[in-house]
């Protein structure tokens, strides 16, 4: 399939669009990264700040990406080039492409671990193991060198296969069917975790905010987690929105995707922390291996744990795939549209480059365990650079672009689908559907206007200033001034 400039591929159904965008957002970021970052950052207070960031900064950045992507109908770089020709704005697209490489490198490390856990579940590798043994099994795998690299390559290849088969046949089909199953499994994990003896401490840790744990670094990491988890700040959603049809309701889609993303993250938290407390583990100790050291214990104490364990790691691998395809698509769409390279060729180039960086990352705990910057190994450096530096920077530039560079009328047209969309009907119109009066319609219009103005205020002032302060403060620049 060729995705050239004239005949662009696209998403077929409304449900498919939400699922594909949600499929990008929901992934290892929610289930693997969220719990361990919450654990390192002190629990409840971090969660509150994170939720605030999703609402006030995340949703507006996501909506801005949708506006750019659907308006330009181009890849992340090409979109800026089309809307702002002969300016420096396309550099934002380049930042996104660099971020995509970096994320792909460390994302595939963790996705590889997940695939290995499918295998371990199938061969019943944790049978009879106590908590200590489960940890030992993980650490010996993590530090074993060749095995994690093998699984990482398998994962990158799986991503490439879906990417080569194109948007409609690949991305949409896979995301649509499988996500609901993951939600069901998570619910059952939450129930089991909550009913383990000694689990209450986990809930307190997650939901009872202790603000003494908050520092500028923690605030930056909440921002990074919000951006990473929502897939924003690097053009993945610009690229996806470029395939959206004109009738897609962008504000509602951004709201739905963010809501789904947050719910899944919190569910992952409820599945992990009560179990950790029940096992006597400390939340800040897990690091990137947290879920791999906790969950096998939970599965062992569940009826049907053998099957649940296989199903969980299979579905988590698929959630990781629906995210990694959105990351790889940023690079592939860029190469096909800007350089005229065919889709398979572009995918191969991306795979080779990503695997090269990715292998160094996977070997962070073995061959390259002594390579570090400060107290961070290669993996941590890449994760920090992408999540806490490149994504916030990209997000900041994206909102400034939509808020200050694009014409207001153009932005408004995208948000209201040329004025035909009754945005607020979705929220206030439910009860008045058949009995709406002229007065209701006036109210709807007023609300619609207000919502656009609130959005404009956020992307012009609040978001850029907030992101800049959080970032400069988080890397210690404000203090040293």
Location of structure tokens 């040293």: 480
Element (H, E) at 373: strand 372-373
Q: Which two tokens stand for residue 267?
A: 């569910």
Long-range CB contact pairs, 98-101, < 8 A, 24+: 98/390, 99/233, 99/234, 99/386, 99/390, 99/391, 99/394, 100/234, 100/235, 100/236, 100/327, 100/328, 100/330, 100/331, 101/331, 101/353, 101/354, 101/357
| Min dist. Cβ of residue 324 to ligand PFF (A) | 7
Task: Give the C-alpha distances (Å, rounded to integers) separating 188 from 193, 195, 240, 305, 351.
Answer: 9, 11, 32, 11, 36
| Min dist. Cβ of residue 228 to ligand PFF (A) | 5
Q: What is the DSSP string of 444-465?
A: HHHHHHHHHHHHHHIIIIIHHH
| Min dist. Cβ of residue 422 to ligand PFF (A) | 30
| Min dist. Cβ of residue 365 to ligand PFF (A) | 21
Do residues 35 and 434 make contact, with C-beta atoms less than 8 angstroms apart?
Answer: no
52-75 residues labelled b (16+ CB within 10 A) or e (exposed): ebbeebbbbbbbbbbbbbbbbbbb
Rule CB under 6 A: choose which of 27, 35, 39, 464 binds ligand PFF.
Answer: 27
Q: Using alpha carbons, select from 23, 18, 11, 55 the residue that is nearest to residue 462.
A: 55
Do residues 352 and 160 make contact, with C-beta atoms less than 8 angstroms apart?
Answer: no
| Min dist. Cβ of residue 319 to ligand PFF (A) | 7
Rule CB under 6 A: choose which of 19, 24, 290, 394 binds ligand PFF.
Answer: 24
Q: Which two tokens stand for residue 376?
A: 């961070």
User: For residues 36 and 126, which CB has a smaller minimum distance to ligand PFF in the complex?
Assistant: 36
Rule CB under 6 A: choose which of 29, 170, 224, 394 binds ligand PFF.
Answer: 29
Rule CB under 6 A: choose which of 234, 275, 381, 421 binds ligand PFF.
Answer: 234
Give Rg (Cα) of the chain: 22
| Min dist. Cβ of residue 222 to ligand PFF (A) | 14
Rule CB under 6 A: choose which of 75, 109, 142, 229 binds ligand PFF.
Answer: 229
Q: How many residues bind ligand PFF (CB under 6 A)?
A: 15
| Min dist. Cβ of residue 323 to ligand PFF (A) | 4
Residue 68 binds ligand PFF, judged by CB under 6 A:
no
Rule CB under 6 A: choose which of 18, 19, 22, 25 binds ligand PFF.
Answer: 25
Residue 231 binds ligand PFF, judged by CB under 6 A:
yes
Rule CB under 6 A: choose which of 308, 327, 397, 467 binds ligand PFF.
Answer: 327
- Position closest to ligand PFF via CB: 29
Rule CB under 6 A: choose which of 236, 257, 272, 291 binds ligand PFF.
Answer: 236
Residue 258 binds ligand PFF, judged by CB under 6 A:
no
Among the candidate windows 223-231, 338-346, 369-377, 449-457, which touches ligand PFF by CB under 6 A? Answer: 223-231
Residue 385 binds ligand PFF, judged by CB under 6 A:
no
Q: Using alpha carbons, select from 23, 9, 1, 21 the residue that is nearest to residue 177.
A: 23
Contacts of 191 (CB under 8 A, 6+ apart): none
User: For residues 268 and 281, which CB has a smaller minimum distance to ligand PFF in the complex?
Assistant: 268
- Site residues (vs ligand PFF, CB under 6 A): 24-25, 27-30, 103, 228-229, 231, 234, 236, 323, 326-327
């Amino acid at each position: 399939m060729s995705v050239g400039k004239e005949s662009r591929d696209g998403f077929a159904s409304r449900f498919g669009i939400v699922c594909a965008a949600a499929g990008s957002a929901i992934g290892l970021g929610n289930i693997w990264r969220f719990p361990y970052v919450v654990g390192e950052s002190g629990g409840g207070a971090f969660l509150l700040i994170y939720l605030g960031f999703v609402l006030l900064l995340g949703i507006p950045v996501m909506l801005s990406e949708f506006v750019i992507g659907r308006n330009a109908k181009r890849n992340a770089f090409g979109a800026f080039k089309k809307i702002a020709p002969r300016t420096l704005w396309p550099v934002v697209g380049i930042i996104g492409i660099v971020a995509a490489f970096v994320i792909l490198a460390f994302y595939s490390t963790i996705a590889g671990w997940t695939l290995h856990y499918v295998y371990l579940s199938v061969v019943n590798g944790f049978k009879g193991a106590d908590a200590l043994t489960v940890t030992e099994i993980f650490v010996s795998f993590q530090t074993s060198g060749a095995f994690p690299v093998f699984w990482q390559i398998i994962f990158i290849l799986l991503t490439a296969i879906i990417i080569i088969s194109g948007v409609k046949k690949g991305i949409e089909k896979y995301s649509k069917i499988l996500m609901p199953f993951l939600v069901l499994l998570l619910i059952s994990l939450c129930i089991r975790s909550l009913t383990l003896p000694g689990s209450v401490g986990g809930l307190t840790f997650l939901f009872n905010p202790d603000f003494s744990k908050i520092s500028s670094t923690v605030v930056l990491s909440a921002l990074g987690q919000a951006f990473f988890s929502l897939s924003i700040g690097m053009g993945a959603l610009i690229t996806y929105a470029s395939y959206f049809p004109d009738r897609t309701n962008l504000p509602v889609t951004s709201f739905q995707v963010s809501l789904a993303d947050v719910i899944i993250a919190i569910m992952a938290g409820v599945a992990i922390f009560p179990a950790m407390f029940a096992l006597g583990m400390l939340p800040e100790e897990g690091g990137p291996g947290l879920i791999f050291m906790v969950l096998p214990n939970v599965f062992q104490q569940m009826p049907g744990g053998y099957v649940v364990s296989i199903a969980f790691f299979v579905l988590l691998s698929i959630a990781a795939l629906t995210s990694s395809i959105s990351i790889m698509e940023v690079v592939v769409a860029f190469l096909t549209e800007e350089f005229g390279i065919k889709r398979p060729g572009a995918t191969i180039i991306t795979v080779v480059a990503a695997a090269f960086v990715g292998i160094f990352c996977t070997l962070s705990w073995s061959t390259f365990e002594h390579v570090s910057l400060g107290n961070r190994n290669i993996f941590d450096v890449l994760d920090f650079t992408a999540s806490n530096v490149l994504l916030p920077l990209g997000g900041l530039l994206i909102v400034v672009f939509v808020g200050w560079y694009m014409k207001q009328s153009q932005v408004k047209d995208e948000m209201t689908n040329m004025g035909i969309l009754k945005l607020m009907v979705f929220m206030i119109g439910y009860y008045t559907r058949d009995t709406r009066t002229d007065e209701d319609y006036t109210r709807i219009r007023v609300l619609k206007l207000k919502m656009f103005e609130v959005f404009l205020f956020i992307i012009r002032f609040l978001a850029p200033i907030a992101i800049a302060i959080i970032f400069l403060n988080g890397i210690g620049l404000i203090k040293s001034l």
